[in-house]
Amino acid sequence: MRESVQADVMMSFLVSEELSFRIPVELRYATRDPYAVRMTFHLPGDAPVTWAFGRELLLDGLNMPCGEGDVHIEPAGPDGLMDVHIRLQVAGDRALFRASAAPLVAFLDRTDRLVPLGQECTRGDFDGDLEDALDRILAEEQSAG
């Protein structure tokens, strides 16, 4: 049985209203982390940057503005399902990307075939993964202090 799906899409990195350029972005979904999707942005001259966020956030953002904190996704225009804006921010730094909705919908459809929405709890070891992550964080804090 397949454990993951991947898709490569081109997105526009919107530097300003006058300047944008196309970049490759890798989308990944794995059954071991059934709630999340990962996007790896390949910006020219920089190391690839990966962001992980909720699969449901990406799905909801295709139809309406959504997201809190560092990730916001919304339709780019009133027509819906044409293009999507994805805004990522860390502290005061922001990056805005524009993607065609069609490859995102196709990717989400493939993830749904692996793990249907609403059945994520039947996959993965959420409690075990959370415990491992907390142990790593505590160990890092203790070694830094």
Q: What is the CATH number of the domain that holds 116?
A: 2.30.31.20
The residue behind tokens 């039947």 is 122
Question: What are the pLDDT digits (tens) for 38-77?
Answer: 999 998 888 999 999 999 999 999 999 999 889 999 999 8
Question: What are the pLDDT digits (tens) for 109-125?
Answer: 999 999 988 778 765 55
Better-predicted residue by pLDDT, 135 or 126: 135
Number of domains making up the chain: 1
pTM for this entry: 0.79
Domain of 92 in residue numbering reads as 4-144
pLDDT, averaged across the chain: 87
Both tokens assigned to 74: 């919304």
The residue behind tokens 């972005």 is 25
Both tokens assigned to 2: 């397949």
DSSP conformation letters of the chain: ---EEEEEEEEEEESSSS-EEEEEEEEEEETTSTTEEEEEE--TTS--EEEEEEHHHHHHHTTS-B--TTEEEEESSTT-SSEEEEEEEETTEEEEEEEEHHHHHHHHHHHHHHS-TT-GGGSS-HHHHHHHHHHHHHHHHHHH-
Better-predicted residue by pLDDT, 39 or 134: 39
pLDDT band at 78 (very low <50, low <70, confident <90, very high): confident
User: Is residue 84 within 8 Å of residue 76, measured between CB atoms?
Assistant: yes
pLDDT at site 99: 96
